[in-house]
Structure formats: structure tokens, C-alpha cells
Amino acid sequence: MTNSIARDIRALLEERNAILLAHNYQPPEIQDIADLTGDSLDLSIKAAKTDADVILFCGVHFMAETASIISPDKTVLIPRLDTGCAMADMITSEALKARLAELGDMPVVTYVNSTASVKAQSTICCTSANAVAVVNSLAEDEVLMVPDRNLCQYVASKTTKKIHCWDGYCPIHNRLRVEEVLRAKAAHPEALFMAHPECPPEVLVLGDAVLSTSGMLDFAKRSENDSFIVGTEKGHLYPLQKANPDKSFYIASESMVCEDMKRTTLDDVLRAITTMTYEVKVSESVRIQASQAVERMIEITGR
């Protein structure tokens, strides 16, 4: 059954000159039939370089918006409209403007896990992998970072600049507790702990490495170690294990599951490519401003 749905999806993708993208946290059966898997920005950048007319993005809404910002001439589809991101929803462009009015004029560094309208109010975007380099590239000594306070505090510990942090967080990463990490370390004393910078500061200090999801894939592949405790959303165990079949990966806490990332099914994907819905389109005025913030980041970091 699953195989026949997968075949139907692949046939329709080809017929419509479409490309299927799946974020690292998506269910295995979706990752397995995707043209590209990876972190959200990488996926959008790679998709833009293809000659596909349609991008079908399996992830959450802000990721499809980013694809639309970078590829305005392509049709961007998302299989379900109810795949949001709790952290992206912790800030609006109006609230950002109000905070800037309080703080005075300063650059706004915005994590790519944010809505297009917030990106549009930003000086520059960053990812969890390049946030320190992005902040250090700015001429100003004082910046506002949004929306993730944990990523922000991590960056603040790595730079001399004064950083004001927005009080947002990813509920899934933020719920990881020190005791859970210590328990996992005691159960697997030989394993290295890879922590995502969306985790709280007291967890990050326990990390052998602090990495984005793509950074974890790279680190695990290159490492001479053969077991790892993973401090990010549980779905990431699948691509880690697939790329490293002889290594072992343990989730730091079973509670690290993002329901939004798990909602999309193969049936949803088939319906989306059959009916060409739901289209995600960022208005041109927002897109132009948001793409400037994304392009600035790409100029600095080359990705």
C-alpha cells in the first residue's frame, strides 16, 4: 500500500516537473521518497538551483515561505496547512517593531525559523549553524536577535557584542533537562553528546558539540567515535542512522517530538501533488524585504 502511494507520488512529481523536499525531522517514509532531505535553508537553496516548476515542501509552514522567498517563480506547495512552528509564532512583525522602538535603532538578526513578515523586518537572517559568524560580521556592537532566546544566549557566549534576546523558544528543544542528558550519558558513557543550540544553556554546556541538524550529520560522519546522544527532535535519528549504518544514535529524551513535524502523511503528500494545494505564496513587498535579509546572510556565510 505504502509502496503504491509512493509510486503514485513519484509519477505525479515527474508529470508536474516537481521536486519533493523533506526536512530532517519528517517521518521516514516521507524522507525515503524525497528528492532532497536536509535542514530548511539548505533545502530551499538547493531547490532554487533546480529547474523544477513546483516545490512540494514537507516540513512546517515557515520553511515553505522561505522556499517561496528564494524561488518566486516556482509554485511552492505544502501538504497540510496545520503544520506550524510554535517558536516562529512567538513573534510578530508588529511586536518586533515595538521592541525596536523601545531599544533604539540596531540591527535585527533573525533565525530562519521565523515567518516571512518577521524576516522582512530584519537586517539579516541566520541559521543555527552560522549565527555566530553572522553576528560577528555586523559593524554594530549591539544587536537584537529573534526569536530564539536559547540560540541567542549561545551566540552571546561566543561573541563580545552586546546582544538583546527575544524571549521565544522551541518548546521541543527547550524541554530537554540536564537530568535527562546525565541519565543518557550514564547509560551510554562512550557516546558523544550532540546538542542543538535551541536547547537551554544549562544543557548546551554538557554538549561535546553544539550543532545544527546538518552539522550533526557532518559531525557524526567525520567522528572516529561510533555512538552519539542526540539532543534534537527525535526524527533526526532516522537520517543520522541512514547515513551512518554502523554507528549508534540515542535520543537524549523521548519527549523531543515535534507534533507539527509529524503531521504530514504520504496520503497528504499524494493529495497535495494531485490537487496542487496548498500553495504558499509570500506577497511581493514582503518577499523583496525578506529576501534581502536572507541574501545578506548568504553573502556572508556562502550558504
What are the residues binding ligand 13P (CB under 6 A)? 24, 39-40, 113, 127-128, 170, 198, 212-213
Calculate ∠ Cα 114-119-124, nearest 5°: 115
Residues 6+ apart with CB under 8 A from 194: 207, 208, 209, 211, 216, 219, 220, 228, 229, 230, 231, 232
Q: Give me the phi and psi of 92, to 5 degrees please.
A: -120, 165
* 72 backbone φψ class: left, alpha, beta (φ>0; ψ -120 to 50): alpha
**Residue 180: how many CB atoms within 10 A of its CB?**
19
Stretch that binds ligand SF4, among 81-89, 127-135, 184-192, 199-207 (CB under 6 A): 81-89
Nearest distance, CB of residue 52 and ligand SF4, angstroms: 24
Nearest residue to ligand 13P by CB is 39
Cβ-based nearer residue to ligand 13P, 84 or 107: 84
In sequence order, what are the beta bridge partners of 47?
Answer: none
- Contacts to ligand SF4 from residues 216-235, by CB under 6 A: 233
For ligand SF4, what does the binding mask look like between residues 34 and 63, x meaning CB under 6 A? --------------------------x---
Quickly tell me which residue has 521536486 as its cell.
19
Nearest distance, CB of residue 202 and ligand 13P, angstroms: 19
Q: How far apart are CA 26 and CA 244, in angstroms?
A: 18
Question: Residue 22: which of ligand 13P, ligand SF4, none does it interact with, CB under 5 to 8 A by kind?
Answer: none
For ligand SF4, what does the binding mask look like between residues 110 and 149, x meaning CB under 6 A? ---x------------------------------------
Where on the chain is the footprint of ligand SF4 (CB under 6 A)? Answer: 60, 85-87, 113, 170, 172, 233, 258, 260-261
